[in-house]
């Protein structure tokens, strides 16, 4: 593999909370006096798949309709996150038991539901590669697109290791979850968290959410949910930990999440070095071709 470093994966299931002196993206972006880093802890073990978050998000943010497709694969007709889907509820049926629960079907059965969202990475590739400065880091440590600056180059779309951000057809510019930047500014929690009837989506200060998630993981394990694990909580993972992290009941890829995402710009210094070397080879090669030619 081409990647250097030995970042432990995003699936590490230990409950280590952040150390308090962890890298703070808002401080690193030049904010001096800023609020605590805010984020989401999505506890998928209590998600009931109601999609209230999807609806609340669309309504609050005026996100346009993006096709009323029937997928036929599950109750999920939303499929994935995109420019016009900022919350996506995944549905997975498995012939496995859920803890000690008896489904009463004569077979083991469990239903996994999870509401996915932009991860608001500590090291955000979309923000790094944006050539206009349209994507920026807010004082809350979140990542937001300024749609009046974006020129729709689309670079952020393949840069995102989670497949979150997209280019909106109707406007031609990039769009994604803002963690309800407008609501945060007036002391409100994001629309999805507000609407979640089971509090599967929890909004708050990231340090506190990480502690809460660690407790929740212990509780879930004690209750027989052996497969429970945290995803994105680890500040040492490939994206420096995410502002929106999850408690999952199976491997991340089952939910359509990458098992060990790495911010692509981690390898950028090596890429520039190699491109520089290639440029020298190109100059030298043509020099040899020219001065070595007898005609």
Identify residues 239-278 at the interface with another protein (CB under 8 A).
250-251, 253-261, 264-265, 267-268, 270-272, 274-278
DSSP H or E stretch at residue 282:
helix 268-291
Q: How far is the CB of 162 from another protein (least distance, A)?
A: 7
Closest-CA residue to 243 (of 155, 126, 123, 162): 123
Q: How many CA atoms lie within 13 A of 10 on its CB side?
A: 27
CA–CA dist 230, 68 (Å, integer):
32
Site for another protein in 179-218 (CB under 8 A): 184, 187-189, 193, 197-199, 202-205, 208, 212
**Is 27 a binder of another protein (CB under 8 A)?**
no
**Is 90 a binder of another protein (CB under 8 A)?**
yes
- Judged by CB under 8 A, the stretch of 13-21, 22-30, 59-67, 90-98 that binds another protein is 90-98
**Is 24 a binder of another protein (CB under 8 A)?**
no
DSSP H or E stretch at residue 211:
helix 206-222
Q: How far is the CB of 106 from another protein (least distance, A)?
A: 13
Q: Which is nearer to another protein, 64 or 259 (CB)?
A: 259
38-43 and 244-248 strand pairing = parallel
Q: How far is the CB of 53 from another protein (least distance, A)?
A: 14
Q: How far is the CB of 65 from another protein (least distance, A)?
A: 18
Q: Which is nearer to another protein, 21 or 295 (CB)?
A: 295
Residues in the chain: 295
- Judged by CB under 8 A, the stretch of 8-16, 22-30, 57-65 that binds another protein is 8-16
Closest-CA residue to 39 (of 113, 118, 115): 118
Q: What residues contact residue 217 under an 8 Å CB cut-off, 6+ apart?
A: 13, 15, 228, 229, 230, 247
Q: How far is the CB of 188 from another protein (least distance, A)?
A: 8
Q: Which is nearer to another protein, 53 or 125 (CB)?
A: 125
Q: What residues contact residue 230 under an 8 Å CB cut-off, 6+ apart?
A: 12, 13, 15, 213, 214, 217, 245, 246, 247, 248
**Is 227 a binder of another protein (CB under 8 A)?**
yes
Q: Which is nearer to another protein, 22 or 254 (CB)?
A: 254
**Is 28 a binder of another protein (CB under 8 A)?**
no
CA–CA dist 155, 142 (Å, integer):
19
**Is 40 a binder of another protein (CB under 8 A)?**
no
Q: How far is the CB of 10 from another protein (least distance, A)?
A: 9
Q: How far is the CB of 182 from another protein (least distance, A)?
A: 13
CA–CA dist 206, 214 (Å, integer):
12
């Amino acid at each position: 593999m081409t990647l250097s470093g030995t970042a432990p994966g995003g699936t590490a299931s230990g409950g280590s909370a952040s150390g308090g002196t962890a890298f703070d993206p808002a401080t690193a972006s030049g904010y001096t006096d800023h609020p605590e880093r805010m984020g989401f802890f999505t506890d998928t073990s209590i998600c009931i798949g109601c999609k209230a978050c999807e609806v609340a998000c669309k309504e609050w943010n005026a996100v346009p309709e993006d096709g009323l497709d029937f997928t036929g694969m599950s109750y999920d007709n939303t499929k994935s996150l995109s420019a016009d889907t900022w919350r996506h509820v995944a549905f997975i049926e498995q012939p496995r038991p859920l803890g000690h629960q008896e489904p009463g079907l004569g077979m083991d059965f469990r239903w996994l539901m999870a509401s996915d969202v932009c991860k608001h990475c500590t090291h955000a590739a979309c923000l790094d590669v944006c050539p206009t400065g349209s994507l920026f880091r807010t004082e809350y440590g979140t990542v937001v697109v300024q749609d009046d600056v974006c020129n729709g180059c689309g670079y952020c779309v393949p840069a995102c290791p989670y497949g979150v951000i997209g280019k909106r057809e109707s406007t031609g510019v990039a769009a994604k979850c803002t963690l309800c930047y407008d609501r945060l500014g007036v002391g409100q929690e994001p629309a999805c968290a507000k609407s979640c009837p089971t509090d599967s989506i929890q909004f708050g200060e990231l340090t506190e959410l990480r502690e809460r998630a660690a407790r929740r993981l212990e509780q879930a394990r004690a209750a027989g949910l052996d497969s429970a694990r945290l995803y994105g909580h680890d500040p040492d993972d490939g994206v420096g930990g995410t502002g929106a992290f999850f408690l999952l009941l199976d491997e991340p890829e089952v939910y359509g999440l990458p098992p060990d995402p790495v911010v692509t710009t981690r390898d950028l210094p090596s890429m520039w070095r190699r491109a520089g070397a290639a440029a020298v080879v190109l100059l030298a090669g043509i020099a040899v071709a020219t001065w070595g030619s007898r005609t």
